[in-house]
Structure 1
Amino acid sequence: CCKHDLPSDFPAHVLEAAKGLSSKITKAEIKRRLDLRSVPTFTIKTDAEESADDAITLEELEDGNWQLGIHIADVAHYVTASTPLDREAQKRGVSVYLGEMNIPMLPSEITDDLCSLIVGNDRLTVSVLIVLDREGNVQEFEIQPTVINVDYRLSYDQAEAILAGKKGKELKPFSKIASTIVQLDQLSQTLKDQRRDRGAFELNLPEKIYARADGIETPEETDKYTFSKFHYDDEGALGAIVIADTAPIHSMLVELMVLTNRIVASHMTALSLPAVYRVHPTPDLKDVEDLIKLAASMEIELPLENAEELHPRDYQNFTKQFSDSTAERVLTYLLLATLKPAFYSMTPKAHFGLALEEGYVHFAAPVRRYPDLLIHRALHAMFAEGRAGKSARSKEKVELRHSSCHGNIGWNVLPPEIQTELEEYFGMVVVHITDREKIAQDAENDLEGLKKAELMKERTGEIFHGVITGVQSYGLFVEIEELLVEGLVHVSSLKDDWYEFRSRQQTLVGRKNRKQYRLGDRIEVQVKSVDYYRQQIDLITVGSEDEEGEEQEFDDTLELTDDQVDIVDGDFDDDDE
């Protein structure tokens, strides 16, 4: 935690503030809200222990359309601006997940009680109610402060069992909503098709590190190294949607939450409300060209629609090509490495990973992400202070909480002092919250690197199949396919000949035997040694230690990039985003 400047325990005055919050919901507060307690409501979480901060409803309307309700815990009601709780949440920026240890953004009194959507308890929420036709097209929507009461809590396993048509005692309590779960899944598939039609793509990555690429269960001896990498029900920090074979129900939830985030963003833009938008830049063409060369060496063609400009559809096509390859996981990780980090901005811009040209926001996780809390705070300002007409006497009024107002507003919705206050504060913290997210990701990646190093240290001497993912003058980078762990075969360990580096072909060639090591080649490697703290895994090609030959020294006259110098010096950190 010290290395990454992560917070530890909450200060006493922050805990005191959290304990001082009232759990009582007054009749006056309920009267200010849309009361949805009679609507069958459910939550879906990974397991029985995880707190639920979002809930779902789905109702069929008389005209045959569907009303989807996404209900997010109303954190902004409890964590108001400039309070000790708000200042601490802003300082932390995001919850951090380090294996079994989590560093929350807010105290447990909020995350596990007041803003935990518990079965049978009234809870305050902000709800996005979306009317969709049978083809999944949005007809209208409204955003409301609400009160709900959750009827059912399902685990991923239970929801997936319902989708599989299974019966049994464990599923009997959910018999009344089983058809709703099935309909919700069908709706999410329609939303996925629409997203793909825009050109958006998914990355097929394991939900946990060390998930086997061939679908075989992770060996018991690696259980202690296994932890979930994805913590949000939307696209999260990566910028692109991840599909995990082990958690198909998560893919369903992602489609629903991404739609909700998009709708909230459209409302913020239409009403000119202050907001922090999520931006995902277009990758650099050169980085993609390097991947195209690697794929070509593996006899996989990755054509671009436009040789001078990248489009998300290119990535969609790439992932389709990868799915037919035995090296899909390795290639997907390399594709992930070409993506630029997403960031927050006051200006709505494109989101490459979701193939969106208009603005996009994070709304669905205010318990764990400060940007989401800011969006909720701006919405609360609209609920309380929004002006539905040009003046108090104006006869023409609009419904600010409904999509029907879009294009019909010619005035400032918020009073100038509130608009200015929110804009100034959002502008002040927008860079900070991006930085805090990066620090959290660096810490999580560092932990993953240490876990991988620890695992491989215990497997020193073992032999694995690998794919050459990088060729440099000083050696080969090899990804161990079984565990998705990368190591370095140093050129000095190739003792059967003197190897020359051909940069254009990305190949090492033996001077006498003409043996070649090329991008994409599959080779067998043995774990030679592991430096745990530097997260450096040294590999040798199988048989290279037994072969006679002059030991090859590293040619330090060649020009290296900064990253390559770090690797040669031993700073081989596995912390790519």
Structure 2
Amino acid sequence: MSQKAWDARKKIICELVSDSIYVPMKEKEMAAFMQVAKEDREDFRAILRELLEEGKLALTPKAKYVKGNGRALTGTFISHAKGFGFVEIEGRKEDLYIPEDKTGGAFHKDTVEVALLPECEGKRQEAQVVRIVARGMKQIVGTYDRAKEHYGFVVPDNNKLPQDIFVPKEHSKGAMSGHKVVVDITDYGNDRKSPEGRVVEILGHINDPGVDIMSIVRGYELPVEFSGKIMNQVERVSQEVSEADMAGRRDLRDVVMVTIDGEDAKDLDDAVSVAFDGERYRLGVHIADVTNYVQENSALDREALKRGTSVYLVDRVIPMLPHALSNGICSLNAGSDRLALSCLMTVEPDGEISDYEICESVIRVDKRMSYTVVKELLEDEGLAEREEAYGQYKELVPMFREMEKLAAILREKRRKRGSIDFDFPECKILLDRDGHPTEIKPYERNVATDIIEDFMLAANETIAQHFYWMELPFVYRIHDVPDGERIQKLAAFINNFGYYMKAVGRAGQKTSGEEVHPKEIQKLLAKIAGTPEEPMISRLALRSMKQAKYSVDCSGHFGLACPYYCHFTSPIRRYPDLQIHRIIKEQLRGRLKEERIAHYREILPEVAKHSSETERRAEEAERETDKLKKVEYMEERIGEEYDGVISGITSFGIYVELPNTVEGLIHVSKLPGDFFRYDESRYEMVGDATGKSYKLGMPVRVRVEDCDRFNRTIDFSIA
């Protein structure tokens, strides 16, 4: 068939399909459609495939051909408990809204193909699911409820799932009501039928210690145990550094260096050294050479890539690498020879890094220090002289003082270029032996934590810049410029308080959106410091930011106001660091030839994408376990009163955060003295009659009213 005849046939087929979006063909058109099909079945099928790819036709969930609305879009379906959902599409600013009757049988996290529905002014763009490309959830975790003699239901822990899972008795594995279970989905159901599943694991009763956290672990599909094959591989790794291991490396064992970590840290992957010659600082950042023990594409490496990151939950750590490695030969334990990658930097008095060297090294850490001890040594002049408590550190104190000075210089250099520092408190939740929370307290930053942060940032920037200019494949840590619309909203809001930000038009674009330099955000935070509106504007500024992620493209880090950045300093707990260590070593050894460069160009995009996804998964799981324990902690404090600040406002109520970082909701119906409405433009809840308003950052006194462990929510009322 000629191209002209082919195009004519395509046109005929398109004309036969109804012009109304997603209205199937009428009988007359269907007959003509089938006639065309009979004339040449093979060509007809090929034309249909081409039209589907072009988006001129689409398939309904019932496999009927309908008129398309442009090229079909593929994304991830996110369901809502009320039946509707959203589809997240990479590169698209706003998710698509999927009405309840347009979900096409999609289940939470399914990869789906959608087509846009007609736009409605003032509403989010709607779409219809036309095809389920791949199922996203094969298992769910929930609470078993034995409803009848011959069957039961599993109520999903994930409140995004709108339906319970039906489980026949023969597939219940003997589960009883109240058991936390893992269920394989055997049937995803439809409009008339509930999803069906098979219990494959009973985690324990809902009230058993540890079952609550394990339910979250399984719900996020976090791998916990290492296979026997991997553990056998780890057992064969030597726990001593041999002469052969040290061959060809820079011997830095005579350089005085320390590790500085939290008191309970066991995987020590970074050591630091500082010397001052009267003119310049010599800063050494020495990172454990984990790649020497984790060979590319080994079972251990594949498992580390799958995990992507270590996960730090409230009661446990799920490591990326087995403890035998991360706490053993890969940990920079004091007094032991260890293999490392060292970034040796010469820093000028103004903070400029004038020279640097990256090398494979062998090191020996002199002391294992904690943040608390270093802080006390630096902040209390007399402590270093007290032999009974701190005498062992006396010889190191001069180096710590130089570290403090150098860190301040590096921090000031970052501040001048516009680096943004959001100082919102994180928390530490203390548990008893049964996993019950006994105390919640905010983490405190101090001079010691700042030293390590400043030195790690310097090394990460130096490494990233070096490989960027070598034009070699690499994994960067990027943080994109905030969305122009969000910045415009923030700028309009702060004008109400007499503040402003300079914005610039996007070069080469005709859109009305604007970009902002990170220095403008930094200046804003400095201006509002100590003012009543500081908490409110700081939170809004943070919410205008995008999430950082991994990428093979070096597009810069907005929050740090630097053009080059990567993660080099934690190969024990982050796979991207481990990955770039391999590239660094191959480059240093002269092995990064065309074949290896092509290899990395092929694999790194997926490594970056997967690492970003596993990082998000870990963050969500960590957040959920924290929320769960905070609810459990507040359950025993119902009726008590606390001072807090308003941390969020929505149409349905205001969120209040307590000093210990616990956050609860005051429903709009519970706000006393008036009928309140949400003023989105001013981020305020305003009373109709009195004009009384609740604003972000406003101090309020609240009473704990209720706690819901299942939904992980806390309800407050105005005290």
TM range (shorter): 0.7 to 0.9
The one-letter code matched in structure 2 to 1:306 is A
Asked if 1:304 corresponds to 2:509, the answer is no
The SS at the match of 1:174 is: helix
**How far is the alpha carbon of 1:517 from its aligned partner?**
4.1
Contact 1:468 1:477 in 2 (8 A): yes
Match of 1:325 in 2: 531
Match of 2:140 in 1: none
Contact 2:550 2:611 in 1 (8 A): yes
**How far is the alpha carbon of 1:45 from its aligned partner?**
1.6
After TM superposition, the structure 1 = structure 2 runs for residues 439-478 of structure 1, keeping only pairs within 5 Å, are 439-474=617-652, 476-478=653-655
The SS at the match of 1:478 is: strand
Q: Distance in 2 between matches of 1:174 and 1:512?
A: 66
Match of 1:379 in 2: 584
Q: Distance in 1 between matches of 2:675 and 2:282?
A: 69
The one-letter code matched in structure 2 to 1:463 is E
Asked if 1:160 corresponds to 2:389, the answer is no
Match of 2:438 in 1: 224
Q: 1:220-272: CA deviations, max 9, x gaps?
A: xx9735478xxxxxxxxxxxxxxx64433111111100000011111111222
Match of 1:12 in 2: 228
Q: 1:489-534: CA deviations, max 9, x gaps?
A: 2233346444455554555554455544455544333222222221
Q: 1:433-480: CA deviations, max 9, x gaps?
A: 110000000111111221222233222222233444444443x31323
Contact 2:285 2:459 in 1 (8 A): yes
Cα–Cα, structure 1 residues 257 and 500, in superposed 2: closer, same or farther, change >3 Å?
closer
Contact 1:201 1:353 in 2 (8 A): yes
Contact 2:678 2:685 in 1 (8 A): yes
Q: Distance in 2 between matches of 1:496 and 1:94?
A: 49
Q: Distance in 2 between matches of 1:64 and 1:425?
A: 44
**How far is the alpha carbon of 1:421 from its aligned partner?**
1.3
**How far is the alpha carbon of 1:338 from its aligned partner?**
2.9
Match of 2:142 in 1: none
After TM superposition, the structure 1 = structure 2 runs for residues 484-503 of structure 1, keeping only pairs within 5 Å, are 484-494=661-671, 496-503=673-680
The SS at the match of 1:13 is: helix
Q: Distance in 2 between matches of 1:450 and 1:162?
A: 37
The one-letter code matched in structure 2 to 1:283 is P
Q: Distance in 2 between matches of 1:495 and 1:205?
A: 29
Match of 1:394 in 2: none
Q: Percent identity?
A: 32
**How far is the alpha carbon of 1:354 from its aligned partner?**
0.4
Cα–Cα, structure 1 residues 450 and 313, in superposed 2: closer, same or farther, change >3 Å?
same
Structure number, greater radius of gyration: 2
1:147 to 362, 380, 397: 362
Match of 1:370 in 2: 575
Number of aligned residue pairs: give it: 486
Contact 2:251 2:363 in 1 (8 A): yes
**How far is the alpha carbon of 1:49 from its aligned partner?**
4.9
Contact 2:437 2:629 in 1 (8 A): no
TM-score, normalised by the number of residues in structure 1: 0.78
Q: Distance in 2 between matches of 1:149 and 1:24?
A: 12
**How far is the alpha carbon of 1:210 from its aligned partner?**
7.8
Match of 1:529 in 2: 706
Cα–Cα, structure 1 residues 470 and 366, in superposed 2: closer, same or farther, change >3 Å?
closer
Match of 2:566 in 1: 361
Contact 2:477 2:548 in 1 (8 A): yes
Cα–Cα, structure 1 residues 128 and 469, in superposed 2: closer, same or farther, change >3 Å?
closer
Contact 1:162 1:182 in 2 (8 A): no
1:351 to 557, 567, 574: 557
Match of 1:89 in 2: 304
**How far is the alpha carbon of 1:428 from its aligned partner?**
2.7
Match of 2:455 in 1: 256
The SS at the match of 2:334 is: coil
Match of 1:231 in 2: none
1:339 to 545, 556, 568: 545
After TM superposition, the structure 1 = structure 2 runs for residues 355-434 of structure 1, keeping only pairs within 5 Å, are 355-356=561-562, 358-386=563-591, 414-434=592-612
2:616 to 432, 438, 443: 438
Match of 2:147 in 1: none
Match of 2:520 in 1: 314
Cα–Cα, structure 1 residues 11 and 333, in superposed 2: closer, same or farther, change >3 Å?
farther
Contact 1:294 1:519 in 2 (8 A): no
Asked if 1:280 corresponds to 2:479, the answer is yes
**How far is the alpha carbon of 1:316 from its aligned partner?**
1.2
Cα–Cα, structure 1 residues 529 and 282, in superposed 2: closer, same or farther, change >3 Å?
same
Cα–Cα, structure 1 residues 464 and 71, in superposed 2: closer, same or farther, change >3 Å?
same
Q: 1:394-419: CA deviations, max 9, x gaps?
A: xxxxxxxxxxxxxxxxxxxx311111
Gaps of 5+ in 2: 1-216, 431-435, 505-513
The SS at the match of 1:56 is: strand
**How far is the alpha carbon of 1:279 from its aligned partner?**
0.6
Contact 2:275 2:402 in 1 (8 A): no
Cα–Cα, structure 1 residues 433 and 195, in superposed 2: closer, same or farther, change >3 Å?
same
Asked if 1:186 corresponds to 2:405, the answer is yes
Match of 1:567 in 2: none
The one-letter code matched in structure 2 to 1:71 is H
Cα–Cα, structure 1 residues 227 and 324, in superposed 2: closer, same or farther, change >3 Å?
closer
Q: 1:33-82: CA deviations, max 9, x gaps?
A: 01111122211121165332111122344x83222111100001111101
Q: Distance in 2 between matches of 1:7 and 1:112?
A: 19
The one-letter code matched in structure 2 to 1:176 is E
**How far is the alpha carbon of 1:330 from its aligned partner?**
6.2
Q: Distance in 2 between matches of 1:347 and 1:49?
A: 33
Cα–Cα, structure 1 residues 470 and 382, in superposed 2: closer, same or farther, change >3 Å?
closer
Gaps of 5+ in 1: 212-221, 229-243, 387-413, 543-577
Q: Distance in 2 between matches of 1:424 and 1:519?
A: 47
RMSD: 2.7
Cα–Cα, structure 1 residues 255 and 498, in superposed 2: closer, same or farther, change >3 Å?
closer
Contact 2:483 2:515 in 1 (8 A): no
The SS at the match of 1:256 is: helix
User: Relative to structure 2, which stretch is displaced further, 512-521 or 128-137?
Assistant: 512-521
Contact 1:202 1:316 in 2 (8 A): yes
TM-score, normalised by the number of residues in structure 2: 0.63
Asked if 1:54 corresponds to 2:270, the answer is yes
1:269 to 448, 456, 468: 468
Match of 1:562 in 2: none
**How far is the alpha carbon of 1:146 from its aligned partner?**
0.4
The SS at the match of 2:638 is: coil
